[in-house]
């Protein structure tokens, strides 16, 4: 940790930044929680914890920064850049980008990066997603806690000055949009597919910037056999049409209606920073992210096997059972992991996995630096759809054989007591018969080996008195019964569903 004299000497104890700098990223209200001074000290701390230690001996430390369409982005980037420069880091600014665009830049340049975005959060929020060189994650256990603690010290006592022989960092600008688009297209060939009409709902987020470049000719690339119908491509961090969070069904309504109205083959919805992609079929019906995980996973398995390699696929524990079932049947090794991008990214790298998927519609690719990219997943779906004659509803049907509840949140007065009631009923008393139990992430109870087939996972929130329930079963009636029975136990007493 630096011990040089501080540039400033603020008095008082180090402030608590734990409400702003969380397990995976930085996210808070501007300017109450996140402002230019806070961004500056986080930049300086990021330099000292991540950037400088990763720089090669004899070379200047470097970092790359980007921001989404939120109005507060440019000034926060400028402040963060100032903090990096104070610690001798040279900064490359790529301007507006999706989060996977920043990951691409980090992977291409081989340097750490920071993306200023609050993803799908409301307009008053902003945040920072940081990564090490090659887009490797910075999370609670991989440097973010150290960044938080050091930033709090710098906020209280000032950022240390460089040694007398140290030079402040420089700042350069670079446009990587066309390179990003070209790179994604090099991974999935759409040139030979049948023509498709595609409605894309950007939600006024960064897909309005990246979709024209990747799916169209906005970056000077050749036209694809796609007729793209744009929906809310205007970049607007106030989200005037709907929240940029396609995980909420209400935010898919405009896309669903537009797909039907235009007679489109498929609809794609992206979140605010365009790192997640949701899909609807030609009827406007959502295609489960688990189904997309299975579809894309099988494509990557086949490609890996064609290259003479044994594929490994990663999935988190709330994805559908169809994902491991189909992946194993295809000859892949399957690794099940906890919910959360830092966990799945770590498993991706550890196992050299070709692909990974989460039910939250984050999709990870070894060819994309083991990072998540919604746009690359979209290209795979378009290639699969356009490479055969059937509509998406028929194509997706084989990947959605089971009935799922989706994630249901319950706000409870006593989380351990609510969980204990479920354990008593399903595990201790075995009221539903013999079950398999694991606690990799929360409580997973499975009755999949014998009829009736079902499983559920009950996880506690890290930050709120919430329990999150996911249920899957062989058919709708069984799923509804298990869902309602578990919820009755969870919500017994003074509780509310949210």
User: Catalytic residue positions?
Assistant: 119
In sequence order, the 6+-apart residues with CB closer than 8 A to the CB of 269 are 200, 201, 203, 246, 251, 252, 255, 277, 278, 279, 280
Tokens representing 213 are: 């470049």
- Backbone torsions φ then ψ of 452, nearest 5 degrees: -75, 145
- Backbone torsions φ then ψ of 54, nearest 5 degrees: -85, -10
Tokens representing 444 are: 């997973």
Tokens representing 331 are: 């000859």
Q: Are strands 363-365 and 371-372 parallel, antiparallel or unpaired?
A: antiparallel
Compute the distance between CA of residue 81 and CA of residue 35 in angstroms, rounded to an integer: 13
Length of the chain: 498
Compute the distance between CA of residue 182 and CA of residue 294 in angstroms, rounded to an integer: 25
Closest C-alpha to 46, from 162, 172, 151, 141: 151
Q: What is the signed CA dihedral for 277, 279, 284, 290, rounded to 10 degrees? A: -120
Closest C-alpha to 445, from 453, 457, 430: 457
> DSSP secondary structure string, 224-269?
PSEEEEEES-S--TT-SSS-S-TTSGGGGHHHHHHHHHHT-SEEEE
């Amino acid at each position: 940790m630096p011990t040089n004299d501080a540039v400033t000497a603020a008095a008082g104890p180090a402030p608590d930044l734990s409400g702003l700098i969380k397990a995976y990223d930085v996210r808070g209200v501007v300017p109450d929680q996140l402002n230019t001074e806070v961004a500056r000290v986080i930049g300086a701390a990021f330099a000292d914890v991540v950037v400088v230690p990763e720089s090669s001996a004899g070379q200047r430390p470097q970092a790359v920064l980007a921001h989404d369409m939120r109005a507060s982005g440019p000034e926060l980037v400028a402040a963060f850049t100032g903090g990096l420069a104070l610690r001798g880091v040279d900064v490359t600014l790529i301007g507006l980008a999706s989060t996977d665009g920043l990951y691409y830049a980090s992977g291409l340049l081989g340097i750490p990066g920071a993306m200023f975005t609050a993803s799908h959060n409301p307009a008053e929020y902003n945040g920072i997603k940081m990564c090490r060189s090659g887009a490797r994650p910075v999370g609670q256990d991989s440097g973010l806690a150290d960044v938080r603690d050091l930033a709090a010290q710098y906020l209280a006592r000032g950022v240390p000055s460089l040694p007398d022989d140290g030079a402040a960092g420089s700042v350069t600008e670079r446009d990587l949009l066309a390179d990003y688009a070209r790179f994604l297209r090099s991974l999935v060939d759409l040139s030979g597919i049948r023509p498709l009409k595609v409605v894309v709902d950007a939600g006024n987020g960064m897909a309005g910037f990246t979709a024209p470049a990747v799916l169209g000719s906005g970056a000077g690339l050749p036209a694809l056999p796609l007729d793209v119908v744009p929906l809310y491509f205007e970049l607007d961090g106030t989200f005037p049409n709907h929240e940029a969070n396609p995980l909420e069904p209400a935010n898919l309504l405009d896309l669903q209606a537009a797909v039907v109205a235009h007679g489109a083959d498929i609809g794609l919805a992206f979140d605010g920073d365009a790192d997640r992609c949701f899909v609807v079929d030609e009827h406007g019906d959502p295609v489960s992210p688990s189904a997309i995980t299975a579809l894309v996973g099988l494509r990557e398995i086949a490609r890996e096997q064609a290259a003479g390699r044994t594929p490994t696929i990663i999935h988190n524990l709330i994805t559908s059972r169809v994902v491991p079932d189909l992946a194993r049947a295809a000859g892949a090794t399957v690794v099940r992991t906890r919910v959360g991008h830092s966990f799945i990214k770590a498993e991706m790298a550890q196992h050299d996995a070709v692909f990974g998927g989460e039910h939250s519609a984050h999709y990870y690719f070894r060819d994309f630096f083991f990072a998540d990219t919604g746009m690359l997943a979209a290209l795979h779906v378009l290639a699969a759809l356009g490479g055969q004659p059937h509509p998406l509803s028929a194509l997706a049907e084989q990947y959605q054989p089971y009935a799922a509840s989706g994630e249901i949140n319950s706000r409870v007065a006593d989380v351990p007591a609510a969980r204990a009631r479920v354990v008593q009923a399903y595990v201790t008393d075995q009221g539903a018969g013999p079950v398999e139990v694991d606690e990799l992430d929360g409580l997973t109870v499975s009755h999949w080996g014998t009829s009736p087939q079902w499983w559920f996972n009950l996880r506690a929130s890290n930050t709120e008195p919430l329990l999150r329930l996911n249920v899957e079963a062989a058919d709708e009636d069984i799923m509804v019964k298990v869902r309602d029975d578990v919820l009755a136990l969870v919500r017994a007493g003074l509780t509310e569903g949210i």
